[in-house]
């Protein structure tokens, strides 16, 4: 057998913990284990019927089996440019839009196009698991800045100032946040905008959850604050979460033309166009009726309230109110370091989560994957019955720890 040497580029790269937890729960379920999974952030709803109907109709046409332009069809890019221009109060041409195979792919292309070895990207923690690894894959250096729960997990201008070096290129803004559900206020966005201009940075605005905000929380676009900020903002967006279209794999980036062209060059030499039929479905999602979004948002909101109430009722668990996305991110540090009835010491949140999955029959994602040890993430994009049963299992299991 030849010895296969794997590229050292992968040395610092970890597998995605969200996907790993989800796969583990799915495997247990397939083996007949009764497990409740709060793992992957994926709506449990089916893709709305009118979106599926558009894709079905396209199947009978002659073009759906063909390649499209690398960056997506002009029709779709035109619709995306119009939608993003409206949301961000800016002007965008279809040339400034690149459609990719999910927002994850958009971000990957972006870091590959943007970063030279050693270039730094500021990533406020808790962060979505894939940001640091994608930055490292592109040869960049993630600079993790820990936000505070008492600041509602918003990064402060002073923290950014302290994190900046001569090599800082960009900061990632994810509001609503995966994993905390925090939504930056307008004042927080304005303060962030000031320092971005002062330090000559780019903002990578990951807006994948922008339509999922609850109560009195409002999504604020940093690009809408001033033309100067609009020129520095790279918008990353997609249909996975808003339209229950995770499996269709469509995300998009809009931003400065030279950057979009560079990303298109990478895409043209790697994956080519995103799936043709998914582009048809995305066009239907963006240009069709929007009441499906409101219906799903209302359901997520009810589940959010129930999950937070149940989590807060568990002794020694604290849970801030998530105001957007579909995750609760409770602090379970009181249970870290405790001993299970089987006799093992659960030294950190990863061990705690493994034990919860195997013994408690409930799958949650360890906070350390998001740069926040002592926490766990639960997705409430699942049924109310699962939420009640699953958080019940969590409470029962935790109560047995000594
Ligand atoms: N950004 C964030 C913050 C996410 O949670 C996700 C979830 N998958 C993505 C980007 C990528 O989404 P997708 O590739 O499904 O469009
Ligand atoms: N973004 C979702 C999550 O955080 C889906 C899984 C992934 O791509 O990480 O769970």
* Model confidence, pTM: 0.97
> How crowded is residue 359: how many other Cβ atoms within 10 Å of its Cβ?
15
Give tens-digit pLDDT for 160-172. 999 999 999 999 9
Same domain assignment for residues 26 and 93: no
Give tens-digit pLDDT for 81-111. 999 999 999 999 999 999 999 999 999 999 9
Phi-psi label, residue 337: left if phi above 0, alpha if psi -120 to 50, beta otherwise:
left
Same domain assignment for residues 280 and 307: no
Same domain assignment for residues 165 and 268: yes
Q: Is the peptide bond before 126 cis (omega within 30 degrees of 0)?
A: yes
Contact 203, 232 (CB under 8 A): yes
pLDDT value for 84 = 98
Distance, in Å, from the CA atom of 23 to the CA atom of 53, rounded to the nearest integer, reads 30
Residue 132 Cβ < 6 Å to ligand 2: no
Which residue from 102, 124, 72 is spatially nearest to 245, judged by alpha carbons? Answer: 102
Domain boundary among 237, 255, 287: 287
Domain boundary among 260, 287, 314: 287
Pocket test for ligand 2, best of 25, 128, 131, 372 (most atoms within 8 A of CB): 128
- Is the predicted pLDDT of residue 60 greater than 90, yes or no? yes
Could you tell me the distance, in angstroms and rounded to a whole number, from the CA of residue 205 to the centre of ligand 1? 12
Distance, in Å, from the CA atom of 226 to the CA atom of 28, rounded to the nearest integer, reads 50
For residue 213, what is the DSSP state?
A: B
Quick check: is 259 in a domain?
yes
Quick check: is 315 in a domain?
yes
Same domain assignment for residues 233 and 334: no
- Is the predicted pLDDT of residue 198 greater than 90, yes or no? yes
> Nearest bound ligand to CA 174?
1
- Is the predicted pLDDT of residue 40 greater than 90, yes or no? no
DSSP states of 60-71: TSSSTTS---TT
pLDDT value for 49 = 98
Contact 236, 107 (CB under 8 A): yes
For residue 348, what is the DSSP state?
A: S
Number of domains in the chain: 2
Same domain assignment for residues 173 and 126: yes
Residue closest via CA to ligand 2's atom 4 equals 41
Neighbouring C-alpha atoms within 13 Å toward the C-beta of 269: 8
Contact 274, 97 (CB under 8 A): no
- Mean pLDDT for 25-33 is 94
Give tens-digit pLDDT for 380-400. 999 999 999 999 999 999 999
Distance, in Å, from the CA atom of 312 to the CA atom of 291, rounded to the nearest integer, reads 32
pLDDT value for 119 = 98
Domain boundary among 287, 315, 348: 287
Same domain assignment for residues 120 and 221: yes
Distance, in Å, from the CA atom of 299 to the CA atom of 144, rounded to the nearest integer, reads 34
Q: To 5 degrees, how large is the angle CA 229–CA 235–CA 241?
A: 140
Distance, in Å, from the CA atom of 139 to the CA atom of 157, rounded to the nearest integer, reads 26
Q: Over the Cα atoms of the chain, what is R_g?
A: 21
Range of the structural domain that residue 13 is part of:
8-46+292-399
Give tens-digit pLDDT for 261-273. 999 999 999 999 9
Q: How far is CA 367 from the centre of its chain?
A: 14
Query: Residue 374 maps to which CATH number?
Result: 3.90.1150.10
Could you tell me the distance, in angstroms and rounded to a whole number, from the CA of residue 208 to the centre of ligand 1? 6
Please report the atom of ligand 1 found closest to the CA of residue 101.
14
Residues in the chain, how many? 402
Which residue from 127, 23, 31 is spatially nearest to 363, judged by alpha carbons? Answer: 23
- Mean pLDDT for 246-253 is 98
Contact 401, 335 (CB under 8 A): yes
Q: For residue 150, what pLDDT band results from cuts at 50, 70 and 90?
A: confident
Q: How far is CA 392 from CA 274, 312, 358, in A?
A: 41, 12, 16
Same domain assignment for residues 112 and 221: yes
Beta strands in 211-312 (DSSP E): 233-238, 251-254
pLDDT value for 148 = 92
Which residue from 173, 175, 276, 303 is spatially nearest to 232, judged by alpha carbons? Answer: 173
Angle, helix 276-287 to helix 49-59, in steps of 10 degrees = 140
Pocket test for ligand 1, best of 100, 104, 206 (most atoms within 8 A of CB): 104
Which residue from 26, 45, 30 is spatially nearest to 380, judged by alpha carbons? Answer: 45
Q: How far is CA 207 from CA 57, 104, 117, 210, 344, in A?
A: 30, 12, 27, 5, 41
- Mean pLDDT for 209-236 is 98
- Is the predicted pLDDT of residue 283 greater than 90, yes or no? yes
């Amino acid at each position: 057998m030849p010895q296969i040497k794997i590229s050292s580029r992968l040395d610092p790269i970890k597998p995605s913990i969200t996907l790993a937890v989800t796969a583990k729960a799915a495997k247990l379920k397939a083996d007949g284990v009764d497990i409740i999974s709060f793992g992957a952030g994926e709506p449990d709803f089916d893709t709305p019927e009118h979106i599926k109907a558009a894709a079905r109709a396209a199947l009978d046409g002659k073009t759906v089996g063909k390649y499209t332009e690398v960056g997506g069809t002009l029709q779709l890019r035109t619709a995306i440019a119009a939608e993003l221009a409206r949301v961000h109060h800016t002007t965008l041409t279809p040339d400034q839009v690149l459609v990719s195979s999910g927002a994850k792919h958009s971000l990957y292309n972006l870091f590959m196009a943007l970063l030279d070895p050693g270039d730094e990207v500021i990533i406020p923690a808790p962060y979505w698991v894939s940001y640091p690894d994608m930055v490292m894959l592109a040869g960049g250096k993630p600079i993790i800045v820990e936000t505070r729960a008492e600041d509602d997990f918003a990064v402060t201008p002073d923290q950014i100032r302290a994190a900046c070096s001569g090599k800082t290129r960009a900061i990632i803004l994810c509001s609503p946040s995966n994993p905390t559900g925090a939504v930056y206020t307008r004042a927080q966005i304005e303060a962030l905008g000031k320092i971005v201009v002062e330090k000559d940075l780019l903002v990578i605005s990951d807006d994948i959850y922008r339509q999922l905000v609850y109560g009195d929380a409002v999504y604020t676009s940093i690009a809408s604050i001033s033309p100067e900020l609009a020129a520095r903002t790279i918008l990353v967006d997609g249909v996975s979460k808003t339209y229950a279209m995770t499996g269709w794999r469509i995300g998009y980036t809009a931003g400065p033309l030279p950057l979009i062209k560079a990303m298109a060059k990478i895409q043209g030499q790697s994956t080519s166009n995103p799936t043709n039929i998914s582009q048809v479905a995305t066009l239907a999602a963006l240009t069709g009726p929007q009441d499906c979004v409101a219906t799903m948002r209302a359901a997520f909101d009810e589940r959010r309230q129930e999950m937070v109430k149940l989590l807060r009722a568990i002794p020694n668990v604290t849970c801030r109110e998530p105001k957007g996305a579909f995750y609760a991110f409770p602090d379970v540090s009181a249970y870290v370091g405790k001993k299970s009835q089987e006799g093992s010491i659960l030294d950190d949140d990863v061990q705690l989560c493994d034990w919860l999955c195997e013994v408690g029959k409930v799958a949650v994602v360890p906070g350390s994957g998001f740069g926040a040890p002592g926490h766990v993430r639960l997705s409430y994009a699942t049924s109310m019955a699962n939420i009640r049963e699953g958080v019940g299992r969590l409470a029962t299991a935790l109560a047995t720890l000594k």
